Chain A
Amino acid sequence: MPPEPVVIDRGGVDALIAALRSRGYRTIGPVVRNGAIVHAEISSVADLPAGWHDEQAPGSYRIHHNEDDDELFGWAVGPQSFKASLFPPASIVWRGRRDSGGVLVEQATDEAPPEAFFGARPCEVAGMSVLGTVLSGGAYPDPNCARHQSSGFVVAVECGAPASTCFCSSMGSGPSATEGFDIALTELTSAGDHRFLARAGTEKGQSVLDEIPQRELKEKDREDRHGVIERSREIITRHLDASAVPSLLARNLEHPRWEDVAERCLACGNCTLVCPTCFCAATSERTNLSGEIQLERRWDSCFDLAHSYLHGGSVRVSTRSRYRQWMTHKLSTWVDQFGMSGCVGCGRCITWCPVGIDITEEVSAIAETDGATMTNEVPLQPSEA
């Protein structure tokens, strides 16, 4: 029987941040910077984006401030996910140097403190779980990813203001938080009473929550939370049939829609940068002037032409083939490779695509003419007919 949720106020949120910091967690949460809500280290509730709201659409992201309200989490997601903590954009894996006997290799260790992921949306929590399975769930677990996950602390915040680009409900990853968190908060603002329903998901979470000033849960709080979640579900307009998509795409690899999207796609790779689960990495050895060798591992993208380099050329040259690779991997072959979908429905790829390509729309278009294939014939000129 899980422990009852409790209710905390804004002061309680502040106390929660302080409790995490005092336990040695580097607490990362949402802040407003450069016209977006991004992740940075936070030290108190004052750092959070109170009164800020976002509007997202394909290829568009704006935030604005509402002077009258002090909602802390009245926005959906920013361009960043917590992926960067589990899987840094660039890291040195080992260093080597030549000595009289040959080469000496030393593993670089990461002694960063454990992190508290504050304000993780349910889709982000799901994203971390997917990434953890990919990088640490196989035969060769990534020790850094595993350590950051196991030593990390997740404070999930359920969604009250999904963006138009969100489709977490289709992917089973929101708007409510069901697992993968230590503490989950739901912001409630009904009847002018700004409060947070807080529940622990782990013993670790419970022991922190026990320290926070709180009051008992009332039926009204429970109902209000339910209302927030239900309203979020209704607000979400984009959908994807998650169970049907893998086989839909697998049998439509020659669909004309790929040619269509290729005419719009810039192969810029933004989608792979903002996606919470994209995990492609390039490893390269570099030698500096003093002769030290370093193995660097850094984020890569399947949109890069060199991604499929083989014997003097690339396998996937056309934009069509690269877009197809990204989308079929994310929604279809990821399931074959890892046992779950790679997509958590956060909608970042839709918002941050400079030309506004919408993955859910592409799926619909293919589903509409399921089985269609390309023809290379061109219509005859009247004189040839």
Chain B
Amino acid sequence: MAVTSLTDGVVAPTHPLVPSRHRVVERSLEASDISTLILEPIDRPISAFRAGQFNMLSAFGVGEVAISISSAPGSSDKLEHTIRDVGAVSHALWACQPGEIVGVRGPFGTDWGIDQFENKELVVIAGGIGLAPLRGAIRQLAIRPPGSSRVVVLAGARTPDQIIFGNELEGWRAAGIDVETTVDAADSDWKGHVGVVTQLLKEVPFDPPLTTALICGPEIMMRFTARALIDRGVDPSAIFVSLERNMQCGIGWCGHCQLGPYLLCRDGPVLPWEPITAALIEERER
């Protein structure tokens, strides 16, 4: 098998499994096991993305994982990814320091559909690292002119030191977004909410029949949260979740990310709760 050689280190591959090299220009630690990397392209930049989509990030020599893009679309925002250290590949990515090189392929998947949410009520509910795939969308909403949709952000985390993007929340509040956070447990230094994120729904006035909800977090949290919203009168088809399954290629070739009729890399990860998604994730071993 012949191997094409490079010219000036720039590769223009036709094969969709070949990553585009990116350099880490900045790394910030959001929590002990969560870091955000800011990336700049060495090879071709990825094409324009929409909030909610993901890239396949490669730690060369270790492997590749699907990670949601946590920056907002638009040239003023550099490409950012927030990574939680949960396995060999994510550990390698989480640990990357400025100057190191990673591979990027994307953008893939469906998006939160932010552009459609004009003049409506939008409730964004995040659990843990789930705030990262929503951050791009929230940043987009924060720069909208006043008088656009009313936006509420509810974010849950395990403990106060696990709340990510804490320094951005004030900026979102200043932009007119209602932001409330809650934790599962804390000591008495914490003066904020303690309880599940669905409890926060009681504290925040919103009009269920007019509401669109975006939920992202561990699947259990998304299931419980969706049901709580439906109990309060939100239309199930106006609830969107971001699902996760074993993703290896990101381009619909490898068959791993199937969930019933969906290939999550192509038909997801963002999906409406009804008509099908609820049944899929409520079934065992699907």
Contacts and interface: CB of A to CB of B under 8 A. Distances in A.
Interface of A: 92-96, 98, 101-111, 134-135, 138-140, 142-144, 253, 279-285, 287, 293, 295, 297, 300, 302, 307-311, 315-318, 320-321, 325, 329, 333, 336-337
Looking at chain A's contact residues, the main secondary structure is mixed
A280 B255 contact: yes
B15 A107 contact: yes
Given A103-B60, A107-B11, A282 B17 contact: no
Counting from the closest, the 6 A-B pairs by CB-CB distance are A336-B261, A321-B285, A280-B255, A140-B251, A102-B101, A140-B16
A291 B2 CA distance: 19
B251 A138 contact: yes
Looking at chain B's contact residues, the main secondary structure is loop
Interface stretch (B181-189, B233-241, B242-250): B242-250
Given A94-B18, A109-B4, A140 B258 contact: no
Contacts, number: 146
Q: Which of B23, B42, B103: most chain A Cβ within 10 A?
A: B103
B6 to A, nearest CB: 6
A320 B284 CA distance: 11
Contacts of B13: 94, 107
B251 to A, nearest CB: 4
Interface stretch (B61-69, B145-153, B160-168): B61-69
Size class of the contact patch on chain B: 35 or more
A134 B101 CA distance: 32
A354 to B, nearest CB: 23
A84 to B, nearest CB: 16
A95 B103 contact: no
Interface in B1-56: 1-6, 9, 11, 13-19, 21, 23, 42-43
Contacts of A140: 16, 251-253
Contacts of A110: 1
A329 B58 CA distance: 29
A143 B4 CA distance: 15
A138 B252 contact: yes
A116 B65 CA distance: 38
A152 B176 CA distance: 61
Contacts of A92: 1
Contacts of A321: 284-286
